[in-house]
Structure 1
Amino acid sequence: MKLATTKNYILPVWLMCLSVSHTQAQTPDQFYQLLEQLPHSSYSSEQRMGRISEGFLGALYVDGNLGEGKDGRFDRDPLYRFDVFDCTTYVETVLAGALSSSQETFDSQMRAIRYQDGQVSFVTRNHFASADWLINNQNILRDVTFEVAGEATKQAVTTINKPAWYKAMGVERLQGLPPEVDKTERLRELHRLGSQLKVEQVSTAYVPLTALFNEQGEVNHALLDRIPSGAVISVVRPNYDVTELIGTHLNITHQALAFRIHGTLYLRHASQTQREVVDQDFVEYFSHYLESPSVKGFNVQQPRF
């Protein structure tokens, strides 16, 4: 995720089968038809999430691809789309789809997941995973990090400086506005709104990589088996200092879904490095971060529905 340009900054499966080929981007009609074909009475939430997320494998990664729609004050990118994703918009789309059975219910669920109290505006968007997104979605998610890691669970503590984040924004943050809009004045307005927000200290529970892997790099399979299939996984970088880029520290910089397929746990996510939605072996993915100075673990959220 590009910290200097992303609009979410999260800064902030069960599957019928494992697909290894890239799929074409779904049209809205195809997506809504799929929702109708997955009635809640016949499919579990895990199954619905698996089928929906699988349909987007191979879709392109495009950072900050959603906004407040055609009437947005600051960002007129679409409220949702099905052809491109970043890590958070991918998770949001899958969750909203799994909760829905029609276009109308999907629209409502997507708004509820992306915005505080479902109220669409730039300021009410759940920009920060640790301060907004996870907290405001506890009606559909349950933090099971401690159930996975037990006494090995750690807490990442940081200060999310929202006023400084807003102040660091440039005119490039204003998306899709018509030529007649004075963008300089509109940016000043956005800065003023941000200056009224609070500086927040947040704490994020995480499974440390030292609990998943021992000193020899061997995997703790008992811990791995406790990660629910269909869980939302957030990559934790405790007190990650990106103030020079965006004005604040962070705890979370990436989000994904975990699905167990034929006994193996996979991370399904919109990958910035691979530039598309992919499946990656969960253990292999996190093994690359064992020597990372900033990535220390992951938070686990199980859907309640």
Structure 2
Amino acid sequence: MKTFLLFAALATAALAASPAPSPDLAALQAKPLYQFNESEVGTYLSHLQLTEPELRARIIHLARKNLKQPYELYLLGEAPFETYDPQPLYSLTKSDCLVFTEHTYAMALSRDWSGFMRLLQRIRYREGRIGVVTRNHFTETDWNPSNRWLVRDITTEIGGDKMRRFDQKIDRSKFLLGRYKLTTPIPVELHRETYVPYADVDLAKAHLTDGDCIEIVRGIVKPGMPDNEIFGGSAWIGHVGLAARGPAGELHLIHSIAPEVREETIEQFIARETAHNAEKDAAGKPRLLGFKFLRLEADPLAKLRQLDGLDAPRVTLPSGAVLP
């Protein structure tokens, strides 16, 4: 127990401390972000804040600097503060779709290592309270509302009469018991969500720009039903990435998907995702239904200060201690 407490104390210090003196910037500019160590990340973020004043440009710069980062699912947990999920609080070398998106946003909003770590935990956890129970497990009902200071849902504005709705039953207690053997008395939540069918993605092209968030809705479709009709209301957000504009202004998606982070046009993504729809439907497997679109706020940190106060981002450890 003493060893664990010491480890936790050291990790707390790491969250709050700035990295060691900087390495050579020219060397950092020449190598991919996923090969950086913690000190190099801090140095590069400080440099980027000085040289690129636009938040959206910083987001896309960092996202593209992480192209080809290896993919691995279920990377992060709460170690060393909790042991239910022994994975660490961050990952620089690998990502899954959510880890990539969260890390990119947190880095783009930060000017040093300490700021990045704080913002990352504020994005990952409800009200920045570190813990497996307070982690934003469900994108629709946890991540999106918790990060309303960062992004705003514009799916309804874009979709108009093409928009589709689906209902969900969110049972957090069942999820936490099944995955982490945790008994938690959390009421079941009934939730209604919206998405734009992938066939109508052109509706979004004039609205989205660099740094906006694209969420991919997947579900199970019964063979013989019209395209995009959901069997049994079974649909969910199953993937996430960042919107970017290509050289000719076309809409791109930058996202982490096996085997590595890639950038592709939205049409390329749809073609790949829908290439085997008939086989997926026959096997009862989920497939692409459509998209949700979230607009990056103009000044997320100002929005966050409205929620957390002047000491934003507010991050709380499982012990209840607030990081100074």
RMSD: 2.5
Structure 1 residues not aligned, in runs of 5+ = 1-20, 174-186, 213-219, 242-248
Correspondence for 1:210 among 194, 199, 219: 199
Q: List aligned pairs for 1:53-72, cutoff 5 A.
A: 53-72=63-82
Is the counterpart of residue 85 in structure 1 residue 71 in structure 2?
A: no
CA-to-aligned-CA distance 1:28-62 (integer Å, 9 cap, x gap): 22222221112279421110101111221111111
Whole-angstrom distance in 1 between the partners of 2:235 and 2:175: 11
Alignment partner of 1:225 is 2:206? yes
8 Å CA contact 2:34–2:92 kept in 1: the answer is no
CA distance in 2, matches of 1:138, 1:238: 25
For structure 2, the residue ranges without an aligned partner over 5 or more in a row are 1-30, 223-233, 282-286, 300-324
Does residue 280 in structure 1 map to residue 267 in structure 2?
A: no
Q: Deviations 1:76-110 (Å, cap 9, x if unpaired)?
A: 32111210001101100011111111112111111
* Seq. identity, %: 25
Q: Of residues 183, 190, 194 in structure 2, which corresponds to 1:201?
A: 190
Query: Which structure has the highest helix share of the two?
Result: 2
Offset of residue 23 of structure 1: 6.9
SS in 2 for 1:79: coil
Say which SS state the counterpart of residue 143 (structure 2) adopts: helix
SS in 2 for 1:280: strand
| Alignment length (residue pairs) | 248
Q: Indicate if the aligned counterparts of 2:41 and 2:112 stay in contact, CA closer than 8 A.
A: no
Contact residue 68 and residue 121 of structure 1 kept, 8 A: yes
Deviation at 1:288, TM superposition (A): 3.5
**Farther off after superposition, 275-284 or 25-34:** 25-34
Structure with greater Cα Rg? 2
Q: How does 1:1-305 map to 2 (within 5 A)?
A: 25-39=35-49, 42-169=52-179, 187=181, 190=182, 192-193=183-184, 196-212=185-201, 220=202, 223-237=204-218, 251-262=236-247, 263-272=249-258, 275-290=259-274, 292=277, 293=281, 294-304=287-297, 305=299
CA deviations over 1:181-215 (Å, ceiling 9, x no partner): xxxxxx3xx1x12xx11211222221211323xxx
Q: Is the 8 A contact 1:144 1:301 kept in 2?
A: yes
1:252-281 per-residue CA deviation (whole Å, 9 max, x = no partner) reads 111111100211221111103xx1111122
Task: With a CA cutoff of 8 Å and minimum separation of 6, indicate the structure with the bigger relative contact order.
Answer: 1
> Shift in Å at residue 232 of structure 1?
0.9
